[in-house]
Amino acid sequence: MDLQSIKNRFGIIGNSPSLNHALDTAVQVAATDLTVLIVGESGVGKEVFSQIIHALSARKHNPFIAVNCGAIPEGTIDSELFGHEKGAFTGAVDSRKGYFETVNGGTIFLDEIGEMPLGTQARLLRVLETGEFIRVGSSKVQKTDVRVIAATNRELIDYADKGKFRQDLYYRLSTVPIRVPSLRDRKEDIALLFRKFVVDFSERYKTTPVQLDEDAKNLLINYSFPGNVRELKNLAEQISVLSNTQIVTPQVLRRFLPEKIMNRMPVLATNNVPPAGDFSNEREILYKLFFDMKKDVTELKKMFLEILQNPSLAGHAASFTRESLLSDYPAVSPSEMHSALVPQQPVQPALIQPLGNVSGNPPVFITDSDIHHHEEIEESLNIMDKEKELIIKALKKHKSKRKDAAADLGISERTLYRKLKEYDIDDL
């Protein structure tokens, strides 16, 4: 079967060399029982490639099932894949077959394989190497004959280097890797895909298909499409339904494109502190918090030093508001603070009046011996250290109850579990 026939059968639009190469690889490997790893960004159509491989294989008359590993909770994924015995865990009122048992003789497509827990990865590796698995709560070894096709939008080799994915499983899965190109890498296909989508939607909604003028077509082709084919399809449907004109101009097209087009190039940071209200994750929020705390401490040190050196300021300190005081004493660098707190000349005894109306109170003398030597301690500002410290405190506070700790930290329980793995934190 030639590539064009396969494209017509599975509804694939495009003639870019990278797409044709991926399809050709899928066709060649389909006749074998080799494990295949499909790599590509979200929305490029990785599941279609798994269907092509199954449909052209000797297993085409046997079951095919697609499993999203990222959508199954960690506590139940072993049961979903390998089954469980009655009473294996709370709620297991009956024995249940897993996918590897029910799809015996067929093909199982494991989407988002990078989200699979490490424990489940070990079980999967055994299935791939020996064809054997054990139900949860059982000691009986069972056999299965299932072809595994995996897919991911991540670079698994980098995950393996970080200890988040088993390296032996990576090499076992990637017997034959197929990389599906992103839409921005096959720009010659964008106009064809858009035309196909608007024709389909016009037939569905009984309308006349919209058309792009030349400038709008160039704008569409040069858009980055972070959501790939899925995003292009949604865009075509929006324009088909909401556009008031049949000919789409750049002005009309821009109304349907995101206001902030994603820039995938690295950004040179001009300030270590993110703008107020512009936080992309929890680490940036913590960094902003610690930066502000350090700045406030610096301001207080500066204010106290000025009062020591100029006692007349003490009588007026009570009338200062915090805002005016901080504006009068700007932040100083650590080196300036150190030189100010450790002066070259010995400090003379100074008379410090208590704040406010203090008539009748005895004066307080501060001498050179009362002022301790200032030692500057370098405080760790590593965000990962601070984040780990907060997670440990939350776990101790809630006696290792992850759900309560996650709620206290303002993150999901799944995110907390991932960070426990990342920082190698055991339950406290």
DSSP assignment string, 60-113:
TTS-EEEEEGGGS-TTTHHHHHH-B-TTSSTT--S-B--HHHHTTTSEEEEETG
Give the pLDDT confidence score for residue 402 in this predicted structure: 85
What pLDDT was estimated at residue 358?
43
> Which residues make beta-bridge pairs with 110?
67, 150
Count of all residues that appear for the chain in the document: 428
Burial label, 335 (beta-carbon count in 10 A; 0-12, 13-18, 19+): exposed
Instruction: Tell me what pLDDT residue 315 has.
Output: 53
In CATH, which of 3.40.50.970, 2.40.40.20, 1.10.8.60, 2.102.10.10 is domain 184-254? 1.10.8.60
1-30: burial string, b at 16+ Cβ within 10 Å, e else = eeeeebbeeeebbbebeebbebbebbbebb
**pLDDT, block means (10 residues), the chain with 428 residues:** 89 94 96 96 95 96 95 92 90 90 96 95 96 94 96 93 94 95 95 94 91 94 94 94 91 87 42 46 64 75 74 53 45 49 45 44 48 50 78 86 84 83 76
Q: Would the CATH topology of 184-254 be identical to that of 383-423?
A: no
Q: How many CB atoms lie within 10 A of CB 379?
A: 9
Of the candidates 171, 74, 177, 150, the one whose C-alpha atom is nearest the C-alpha of residue 118 is 74
C-alpha span between 286 and 113 (Å, rounded): 31
Helix/strand/coil for 205? helix
Q: What is the DSSP string of 351-380?
A: EEPPSS--TTSPPEEE-GGGSPPP------
Q: What is d(CA 15, CA 4) in angstroms, rounded to the nearest whole number? A: 9
CATH number for region 383-423: 1.10.10
> Residue 366 corresponds to which tokens in the numbers above?
């501060």
Q: By three-state DSSP, how is residue 241 classified?
A: helix
Spacing of C-alpha 290 from chain mean position? 23
CATH class of 3-181: alpha beta
**Domain spans of the chain?**
3-181, 184-254, 282-370, 383-423
Tokens read off for 343: 């002066």
**Ranges assigned E (strand) in 268-340:** none
